[in-house]
């Protein structure tokens, strides 16, 4: 996209804006602002930036505002890094207060240290809705500010690059206060993880985190520092080409946080027929019997994996199945077959230590959710509707 004479253009726009501050900034090929980076320089706290549909190449930015909304219009804006990055970090660096990003796609982030991200989230409160991350060294990489929060909804992360000797996570969350991931889709990893979270609290709800058939991710979910991990209503599946036989890993590097709990309720968990497979692996350290308190209820366990879970009363309602008992997992239909004897065989999940274990929604392709009307009797797994969306 062509460069405008940025200094004079922005000065004129600021003079014309009421109160020396515009409410909405429009970016597009025929707009006064043709580049997103220019909008990032002039937008003020409380503003909205609207980006017209199209492909924006080499257009990287740093956002420092508070109460800012950045929205792609129509079919969405596509940000193609094409060799560019902000501060050798990412297509966008987020270093503000509360920022909401909607309907934007991030592609092809590359930096010299092989750690480039579609978004580098450093501090503040970031909300993502209908965002898409493809072929980035990290889809989103969050830092270690314990006051920061991240909320991701109805989004997609896929196509990790195949760099020998490098690990590219689709989503890597550092030691922030809380991450919530809901109604989103993750696939196509390569040797690293689909989701890796070191957050104090991780809420993983109603997602499809399935690497098969051609992905090569290690863990689908990893919580290496422990913390509170609440995993409810997800479809989580591993590729037979995985580089690690555990689907979900917890506390592999110890327990950094004071409160360490694992909750798995109403998930559909799928492992391939590989030696030593795990649905859930909870690591023990320093001779202690357990790294955390664990409760697992009403999960559907598809495949031969081991399930690292405590006493029977903490793992009510989990049911074993084979892939042939699902409708058509290769085509993305992970429901039980219509006449499966596993329908309506689990008790209500209830609550545990103040955490509601009963799902309120379920994942709906391609990446969203729909409300879940409580059935008369619950079934194991993430999907309670017998009919397709």
DSSP type of residue 154:
S
Residue 388's pLDDT is 75
DSSP type of residue 9:
H
Per-residue confidence at 290, pLDDT binned at 50, 70, 90?
low
| 119 Cβ contact partners less than 8 Å away, ≥ 6 residues apart | 90, 91, 92, 93, 94, 101, 106, 126, 133, 139, 140, 141
Q: Is the pLDDT of residue 332 over 70?
A: yes
Cis peptide before 236 (omega within 30 of 0): no
Neighbours of 304 (CB within 10 A): 15
User: Taking a C-beta distance cutoff of 8 angstroms, is the pair 375, 345 a contact?
Assistant: no
CA–CA gap between residue 260 and residue 291 (Å, rounded): 7
User: Taking a C-beta distance cutoff of 8 angstroms, is the pair 178, 205 a contact?
Assistant: no
Residue 285's pLDDT is 74
Percent of the chain with pLDDT over 70: 91
Residue 3's pLDDT is 44
Q: Is the pLDDT of residue 8 over 80?
A: no
Residue 203's pLDDT is 98
Q: Is the pLDDT of residue 120 over 70?
A: yes
Burial class (CB in 10 A: 0-12, 13-18, 19+), 331: exposed
Residue 314's pLDDT is 52
Q: Which CATH architecture fits 24-371? A: 3 Solenoid (2.160)
Lowest mean pLDDT among 15-19, 27-31, 226-230, 278-282: 15-19
Per-residue confidence at 21, pLDDT binned at 50, 70, 90?
low
Q: What is the mean pLDDT of residues 33-49?
A: 98
| 14 Cβ contact partners less than 8 Å away, ≥ 6 residues apart | 20, 21, 22, 42
Closest CA to 118 of 70, 60, 72: 60
What's the pLDDT tens digit per position in 43-82? Answer: 999 999 999 999 999 999 999 999 999 999 999 999 999 9
Average pLDDT score, the chain: 91
What's the pLDDT tens digit per position in 148-162? Answer: 999 999 999 999 999
Per-residue confidence at 166, pLDDT binned at 50, 70, 90?
confident
Residue 20's pLDDT is 52
What's the pLDDT tens digit per position in 194-246? Answer: 999 999 999 999 999 999 778 999 999 999 999 999 999 999 999 999 988 89
| 105 Cβ contact partners less than 8 Å away, ≥ 6 residues apart | 72, 76, 77, 78, 79, 131, 132, 133, 134
Q: What is the mean pLDDT of residues 266-272?
A: 96
Residue 22's pLDDT is 55
Residue 287's pLDDT is 53
Q: Is the pLDDT of residue 7 over 70?
A: no
Closest CA to 168 of 222, 242, 117: 117
Q: Is the pLDDT of residue 17 over 60?
A: no
Q: Is the pLDDT of residue 12 over 70?
A: no
Q: For the chain, what is the largest distance between any 2 Cα atoms, rounded to a whole number of angstroms?
A: 71
Residue 199's pLDDT is 98
CA–CA gap between residue 59 and residue 38 (Å, rounded): 9
Q: What is residue 197's three-state secondary structure?
A: strand
Helices (H), the chain: 6-16, 36-42
Q: What is the mean pLDDT of residues 288-303?
A: 83
Cis peptide before 349 (omega within 30 of 0): no
Helices vs. strands in the chain: H and E counts, helices first: 2, 36
Angle, CA of 350, 318 and 389, to the nearest 5°: 80
């Amino acid at each position: 996209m062509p460069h405008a004479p940025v200094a004079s253009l922005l000065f004129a726009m600021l003079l014309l804006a009421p109160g020396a501050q515009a409410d909405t900034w429009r970016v597009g090929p025929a707009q006064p602002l043709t580049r997103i980076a220019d909008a990032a320089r002039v937008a003020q706290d409380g503003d909205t930036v609207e980006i017209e549909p199209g492909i924006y190449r080499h257009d990287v930015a740093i956002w420092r505002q508070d109460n800012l909304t950045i929205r792609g219009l129509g079919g969405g804006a596509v940000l193609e890094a094409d060799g560019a990055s902000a501060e050798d970090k990412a297509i966008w660096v987020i270093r503000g207060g509360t920022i909401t990003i909607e309907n934007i796609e991030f592609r092809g982030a590359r930096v010299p240290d092989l750690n480039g991200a579609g978004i580098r989230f450093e501090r503040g409160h970031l909300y993502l809705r209908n965002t898409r991350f493809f072929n980035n060294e990290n889809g989103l990489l969050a830092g270690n500010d314990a006051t920061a929060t991240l909320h991701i909804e109805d989004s997609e992360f896929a196509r990790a690059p195949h760099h020998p000797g490098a690990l590219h996570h689709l989503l890597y969350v550092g030691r922030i206060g809380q991450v919530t991931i809901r109604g989103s889709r993750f696939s196509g990893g390569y040797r690293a993880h689909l989701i890796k979270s070191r957050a104090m609290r991780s809420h993983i709800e109603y997602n499809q985190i399935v690497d098969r058939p051609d992905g090569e991710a290690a863990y689908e979910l990893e919580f290496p520092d422990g913390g509170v991990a609440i995993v409810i209503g997800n479809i989580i599946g591993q590729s037979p080409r995985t580089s690690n036989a555990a689907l979900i890993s917890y506390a592999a590097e110890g327990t950094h946080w004071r409160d360490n709990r694992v909750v798995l309720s109403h998930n559909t968990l799928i492992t391939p027929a590989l030696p030593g497979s795990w649905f859930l692996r909870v690591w023990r350290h320093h001779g202690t019997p357990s790294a955390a308190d664990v409760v697992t209820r009403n999960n559907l366990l598809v495949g031969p994996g081991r399930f690292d879970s405590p006493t029977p009363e903490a793992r009510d309602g989990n049911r074993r199945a084979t892939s042939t008992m699902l409708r058509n997992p290769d085509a993305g239909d992970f429901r039980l077959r219509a006449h499966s004897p596993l329908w309506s065989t689990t008790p209500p999940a209830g609550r545990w230590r103040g955490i509601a274990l009963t799902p309120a929604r379920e994942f709906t392709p391609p990446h969203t959710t729909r409300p879940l009307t409580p059935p008369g009797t619950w079934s194991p797994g993430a999907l309670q509707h017998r009919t397709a969306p």
